[in-house]
Amino acid sequence: MSNLKTTSFFKDSDFLSKNEAGSISENDKKLDELIWRCMDIAEELMRRRSVLDEVLGEGRMFLARASYSNAAASTGDCLLYAPTLDPLVRVIERRTDSKIEFDTQWLSVSSNSNSKSSSNENGCIELDNLSTVADPIKAFGSMAPTSLRSSQAFFHRAVDEIANIASLTLELDQLTNTYRSAKSLHDSNIRKTEEEEQKTKTLAEDSNCNEDLSEHEQ
Amino acid sequence: MRGKLIAVIGDENTCTGFLLAGTGEAKRGHSNFFVVDQDTPKNAIEEAFNKFTNDPNISILVINQNIANEIRYLLDSFTNTMPAIVEIPSKSHPYDPSKDSVLQRTQKLFNADDFK
């Protein structure tokens, strides 16, 4: 399990105390920028989610059609219980200064013309001795129903959308953590400033009282 | 650079779809997907979740949200960056953003005071 270090969108030193150049209002501005960025990402995330819902719905619909047209065998069994499967898609993690992005890398499929194949009792094709990655749809034979191919295309798109959503979710999570720590530091600075002002005010009042007393004694 | 895998914890329909797309890897009894049906015990789902989240070869874990709800306590306490967990709807259970663990953390961050 990898624990990636979260890189702050802003550094702690960006959040200045009131006595330094910039003042509390600069910190407020930066916190606002963080909030706006979070909202932008959340909006994009919801848009991507809507697209994912749509492609998953279409993919499932075509899968159901394929199941109806292939009444004898369960559409899932050929893949779910395959002894070996090689992935057609891999995820590349791209790390920049402040975030991690996921990209999908799709491998080319074999033509399957030189591979040996045999049919099992469920009517599924078992592919042996493949030197390149086989298209999973080949497990349903060379004449796989069109609806199965359509379903595959939609789930293919779903995989790409999921990678985008994962990137956005990760970025949102990181920004959330950055905002939380920045806000905490900012609030701490404000409290310190207020305490100092209170102390200064109290000292000034005490000083005035002492002056009044000494004048009165005179 | 050799990329990593996408793991799936889902119902049969979901797993089949993603295997059809080409996310599946299976060899020597090890696979990157776990099918959940109505008879699947909760501890088996927990075991699959722990197995996939501890596998360094997995970059993204896709899970049906209705299944995620059964092990919500595990997702809520999972704060590592990797793998990224993406909750998706199932055929009969639409996606509810208010239940998504990651979005919940973001929602809790902001309150009315932040906008004063």
pLDDT digits (tens, 9 = 90+) for B36-94: 999 999 999 999 999 999 999 999 999 999 999 999 999 999 988 899 999 999 999 99
Which carries the bigger pLDDT value, residue A170 or residue B102?
A: A170
**Inter-chain residue contact A60 with B15, CB threshold 8 Å:** no
Average pLDDT estimate for B95-100: 88
- What is the signed CA dihedral for A51, A52, A56, A59, rounded to 10 degrees? 60
- Say how far apart CA A192 and CA A170 lie, in whole Å: 33
- Say how far apart CA B69 and CA B10 lie, in whole Å: 12
**Inter-chain residue contact A80 with B12, CB threshold 8 Å:** yes
- What is the signed CA dihedral for A101, B1, A88, A106, rounded to 10 degrees? 60
Provide the pLDDT for residue A138: 82
Contact predicate B26/A157, CB 8 Å: no
**Inter-chain residue contact A92 with B3, CB threshold 8 Å:** yes
**Inter-chain residue contact A170 with B89, CB threshold 8 Å:** no
Contact predicate B104/A68, CB 8 Å: no
Q: Looking at the complex, report in whole angstroms how far the Cα of residue B1 sits from the nearest Cα belonging to chain A.
A: 8
Measured between beta carbons, the chain B residues lying within 8 angstroms of A46 are: 97
A60-83 pLDDT per residue, tens: 999 988 887 764 445 677 788 888
**Inter-chain residue contact A91 with B109, CB threshold 8 Å:** no
What is the biggest distance separating any 2 CA atoms in chain B, rounded to whole angstroms?
Answer: 59
Beta strand spans in chain A (E): 89-95, 100-106, 116-119, 125-128
This prediction's pTM = 0.79
Provide the pLDDT for residue A194: 87
Q: Is the pLDDT confidence value at B100 over 80? A: yes
Provide the pLDDT for residue A5: 35
Q: Which residues make Cβ contacts (< 8 Å) with residue A198, sequence separation at least 6?
A: none
Q: Is the pLDDT confidence value at A10 over 60? A: no
**Inter-chain residue contact A1 with B54, CB threshold 8 Å:** yes
Beta bridge partners of B58: B5
Which DSSP state fits A110?
P
Average pLDDT estimate for A118-125: 54
Provide the pLDDT for residue A129: 40
Best of B14, B16, B63 to mutate (most A CBs within 10 Å, chain A): B16
3-state secondary structure of A10: coil
Q: Looking at the complex, report in whole angstroms how far the Cα of residue A182 sits from the nearest Cα belonging to chain B.
A: 12
If residue B105 lies in a helix (H) or strand (E), which one and from where to where? helix B101-109
Share of chain A above pLDDT 70, in %: 75
Q: Is the pLDDT confidence value at A101 over 60? A: yes
3-state secondary structure of A38: helix
Q: Band of the pLDDT at A167, cuts 50, 70, 90?
A: very high
Q: Is the pLDDT confidence value at A7 over 80? A: no
Residue of B nearest to A64 (CA): B13
Which carries the bigger pLDDT value, residue A20 or residue A47?
A: A47
**Inter-chain residue contact A105 with B3, CB threshold 8 Å:** yes
Residue type, B37: D
Measured between beta carbons, the chain B residues lying within 8 angstroms of A148 are: 20
3-state secondary structure of A169: helix
